[in-house]
A = this chain, B = another copy of it.
Amino acid sequence: MPDRVADDSARTDERCLDVAELAHVEILSPRPEESVRFFEQMLGMQLVEQSGQSAYLRTYEDWYHSSLIITESPVSGMGHVSMRTRSAPALERRVAAIEASGFGRGWVDDSVGHGRAYRFDSPDGHRFELFWEVDYYTAPPDQRTELLNRPQRRPAHGMPVRRLDHVNLLAAEPEPTHDFFVEELGFLSVERMIDEQDATFAEFFTVNSMPHNIGMFRDPTGARGRLHHICFFYGVPQHLYDLVELLNDAGHEVERAPGKHGVAQGMFLYVFEPGGNRVELWGDVGFLVLDPDWKTIIWRLGEGVGGVWIGAPTPDGFIKRGTPPVEGDGTPASPRG
C-alpha cells in the first residue's frame, strides 16, 4: 500500500494543493463562426463538438475533451474559467471553503466534456468552476499518433498550438480577488507588479509548476470581472514568427509582435480574435516554479523589466482594453480581422 499522510496537523504550514490545473476557458463572441475559424485556421485547433450556442475546440496536446469553448453572445468577454481539482475529495474541500466564503453559486450538472462542476465568482465577478470527473479525448483512428503521450496527431493546418496555457483577468480591485485565490483556492502568488503606492498593478498565480495559470491586471477603467486575454502554448519561439506571417496575410490585428516578458520570462505575441477577445501565444515556457518555498517576486512598475525584457515598450492602452469592451477602454469601433 502506498504511504499516505498520517497526521494532518503536520501540514498546517503547507499550501493547499487541492486545485491542480487550468482545464479550459469559455470566451464569448459576437462573431462565433469567424472566431471558430480563427482558432481552427490560424492556431490549428480542432472543433470537437457544437452544442447549443457553444463550440468546443481543443489543442493537440490537451488530454481532455476540449480546452476552449466559444459561445455566441451579443458582446465579447469571458464565459468562465474552469479548473480541475487534484481529486474528488479535494473538490469537496474547495467547495466547502468557497461556500463558506459566500462566493459560491452552485453545482452545474450538464457540462459538456466533464462531470458536475461547482461554479463561483471571484470577488471581482469572474465566473469560475471546479470539477473532478472529466472526459478524456479519444482521437479517431486517422488522427492517432504512435506518440502514446500525445492524445492526437499534430495538425497539418495553421500553426498548431500545443495546449491552453493561462488566462489573464482584469479586476477593478485585485486585492479581494488575490485573497480569495490564495485563501480559498490555494493559488501561489508567483510574481506581482506594484505601482508607486505599492498597490497591485498585476499579479500572476500558479497551482502547479507553470510560471502562472491565472494572471490579473488592475482594470484602469474600473470595470469589474473582465477578461484581458487567454493564452495558448507553442513552446518554440520560431512558431510565433510563423504564426505572425499567417496572421498578417489573413488581416488579423496583431497587437504586439513577438517579444519576451520579464514576468515569467515568457515569449509572447498578442492578437485579437475576430470576436474581439485578446489571445496571447507563448513561445517559451519561461521558468518553472519548482522551489516549494517560492517567495512572490515583486516588480516595481516603472523601474524594472517585468513587462518587457526583450521587445518594444508595452503599447499604450494594452492594459486598458479588455472584453467586454467598456466606454473609454480603447477598443476600436470596427475591429479588423
Contact = CB atoms under 8 A, between A and B. Distances in A.
Contacts of A260: 241
B290 A208 contact: yes
A52 B265 CA distance: 37
Interface centre among A241, A257, A290, A312 (most CB of B within 10 A): A290
A181 to B, nearest CB: 11
B87 A13 contact: yes
Contact of A154 (B14, B184, B249, B288): B249
Contact of A183 (B3, B235, B265): B3
A93 interface: yes
A193 to B, nearest CB: 10
Given A284-B236, A287-B61, A262 B149 contact: yes
30 contacts: A2-B182, A2-B183, A3-B16, A4-B11, A4-B14, A5-B11, A5-B14, A5-B18, A10-B93, A63-B291, A84-B291, A86-B292, A87-B293, A146-B249, A146-B305, A149-B263, A154-B246, A156-B157, A156-B158, A163-B288, A208-B208, A208-B290, A235-B285, A236-B238, A237-B237, A237-B238, A238-B238, A257-B310, A257-B312, A258-B310
